[in-house]
Amino acid sequence: MIEVKNLFKVFKLDGKDFKALDDVSFNVEKGEIFGVIGLSGAGKSTLVRCINRLEKADGGEVIIDGVSINDLLEEDLRKERKEIGMIFQSFNLFMQKTVYENIAYPLEISKISKDKIKERVEELLKFIDLVEKKNSYPAELSGGQKQRVAIARAIATNPKILLSDEGTSALDPANTGSILSLLKKIVKEYNTTIIMITHQMEVAKDICDRIAVMEKGRIIEENTTRELFRNPKTQVTKSFIKNLKDETEDEIINADDFKGDVFRLSYGDDTYKRPILSRCVKKFDIDLNILSGNINKLNASSVGYLIVEIQGDEGERKKALDFLLENKVNVEVV
């Protein structure tokens, strides 16, 4: 569906070359929600602007349904962009237009008939649950309502792709949850492909099928959401997961404060409901102390973790760790 191949983008900064994108490659399947997460300055927004060619890449390719958009002429590019909707952190609504008029705008410039515009806008007002706000102006709406209108406008022409550039960053947790539910509904009902640009791991974990982590213009890690949480490879990813708002590990655990070895155990859907630790303690001559733990609800599954201290003879501890690994528990030394 979407292929990003070896994408480069360089800006001049204080007379020096700054690589905003440095050999970025990934694929996104039809109907998938693909997350791109990174800290400010990682290159996320530049990436999304290169995907719809608001920025022209200095190298590499963006291919959508087999069509390379890099070298399209202006007229062909306009046609391709009709298949790509976009939502922003700042909503970007027309303040002088009503909710109805905002949603109708892309249909009007596409020269759709008034009857069809009315039909589509009313359908979308029901879809975003804002029928009663149809004649209101953006200034009269909450942040969550504004973003719902922005999403309805973005999907008015039935685009194949929806790009969200920090689309939930300006919202409180309740409105964020509401917007994420709406985006899932769009994928389910319209089979839209979504790329989520965000710095919020709590957003990515709730909605994304796969996540790519960016740092300094490069993708440093990419995996399914479940596997990324179960077995993060890079320090940046581990930091994002550790700092989730719903994390219960409030204090830093210092392994030097404990007599035994301290491990972080990660569980997936197929393991976190099984009494693996109980069996481990019964099977081997060890003492096990649970220090911290949590279960993260992901888009389509769950991942749990425990921080534990294991005491006992070195041989028994090794057998216990081997047992955990055999039972598909990921083990990481703290």
pLDDT value for 249: 45
Q: Output the pLDDT for position 248.
A: 42
Give the relative orientation of helices 114-127 and 99-109 as an angle to the nearest 10 degrees: 130
Tens-place pLDDT, residues 107-145: 999 889 999 999 999 999 999 999 999 999 999 999 999
32: closest CA among 175, 162, 227?
162
Q: Are 301 and 269 in contact (CB under 8 A)?
A: yes
Task: Using alpha carbons, list the distances in angstroms from residue 105 to 52, 85, 155, 203, 309.
Answer: 19, 13, 12, 29, 60
Nearest Cα to Cα of residue 325 among 260, 255, 265, 272: 265
Check residue 245 and give its pLDDT.
43
Give the per-residue pLDDT at 254.
59
What pLDDT does residue 272 have? 63
Q: What is the pLDDT of residue 264?
A: 82
Domains of the chain by range and CATH?
2-232 (3.40.50.300), 260-333 (3.30.70.260)
pLDDT tens sequence across 223-240:
999 888 878 889 999 888
Helix (H, G, I), strand (E, B) or coil at 78: helix
Return d(Cα 36, Cα 257) in angstroms, integer.
37
CA distance 105 to 121: 10
Regions in the chain scoring below 50 on pLDDT: 245-252
